[in-house]
Amino acid sequence: MKKIISLLSILAVAQGAHAAAGFQASLTPEIAVVEQGAAVKGVALNIWGDNQVRGLDLGFVNQQSGDSAGFTWSFLGGTVENYKGVIWGGFFTRSTGDVVGWQAAMINVNSGTLKGIQSGWVNVAQDVTGVQLGLINYTKNLNGVQIGLANIVESNEWFTEFPSELAKGFPFVNWSF
């Protein structure tokens, strides 16, 4: 208990010294060195964090709003808005905007545009330019390749544009260029 009180005291004192925002430590978004939603350019270590991070973001649950970049690793999972770099989540990752890079977890959901690689057991994206690699892959629009047991591209027609497009749904591999 003394360690928790000491940590909270340090966090409270450090709250006023976050002008450079080169480091973030948070237990929750409200109990953190840098206030919730603020920019961090450097390293963020979180139990549960919610900041706009450009750099290294490590934690159990990471939430990033706005434009973020770098390397994010979340033990349980994380959500981002617009991201450039690598997003790794244990169980899930979710993007509400655009991702350029690599999005990986057991379940990945991207409601914007993905340019790069999405890998996991289940991958869902609005628009993909690149590769989806998983057991189940779904996208509305694809400019690239899907590799998995079930691959669905909503905008593909059934074999009418072969070889540039394969099919709406196909096992093992599907593509659209």
Task: Note the pLDDT of residue 177.
Answer: 84
List the domain boundaries for the chain: 2-176
Q: What does the block give as tokens for 132?
A: 């989806």
* pLDDT tens-place string over residues 131-167: 999 999 999 999 999 999 999 998 877 656 656 666 6
Cα(177)–Cα(168) distance, integer angstroms? 13
For 86, residues 6+ apart whose C-beta sits below 8 A from its C-beta are: 70, 71, 72, 101, 102, 104
What length is written for the chain?
177
Task: Note the pLDDT of residue 76.
Answer: 96
The answer, as to whether pTM is greater than 0.85, is no
Cα(141)–Cα(71) distance, integer angstroms? 26
* pLDDT tens-place string over residues 116-126: 999 999 999 99
Cα 13 to its chain centre, rounded Å, is 31
